[in-house]
Structure 1
Amino acid sequence: MSMEIERECPSCGETATFWKTAYMEIHLGKKTKWRCAECGYGYIQIDGDISTAEA
């Protein structure tokens, strides 16, 4: 998995680079924390299916 991704940031309102700030294996799958390089908005993604990011 890459250390950075490009995606829409709900806080910035535009596409931004998100950096991986943490990663671990948990009972639900792979837990990854991402943080926007522009504004600091962060979200957690679990195994690619569960996310705390706004839709």
Structure 2
Amino acid sequence: MRELDHGCPNCEEEQTFYRAAATHLHLGLKTKWYCPECGYGFVRIDGDIDSSAA
């Protein structure tokens, strides 16, 4: 998956985020996502841990 629809706090609407990087950790797959409109980014680990909720 290279695209993800997700709410962007900077744009204040749903945006299509693009995968910037991905690597495997002992916790699972760590994926960095970014919004091409404003540059906001967040990290997800195995889909369970999401830094955008912080």
* TM-score computed with the length of structure 2 as normaliser: 0.92
Q: CA deviation at 1:37?
A: 1.2
- Where does structure 2 lack aligned partners over 5 or more consecutive residues? none
AA of the residue aligned to 2:15: A
Q: CA deviation at 1:6?
A: 1.2
Q: What is the aligned length?
A: 54
Q: CA deviation at 1:54?
A: 3.0
Moved over 4 A (4+): none
| 1:33 and 1:44 in contact (8 A); partners too | yes
Percent of aligned pairs with the same residue?
Answer: 50
| 1:5 and 1:17 in contact (8 A); partners too | yes
Q: Partners of 2:44 and 2:25 in 1: how far apart?
A: 12
* TM-score computed with the length of structure 1 as normaliser: 0.90
- Where does structure 1 lack aligned partners over 5 or more consecutive residues? none
Aligned to 2:23: 24
AA of the residue aligned to 2:5: E
Which structure is higher in helix share? 2
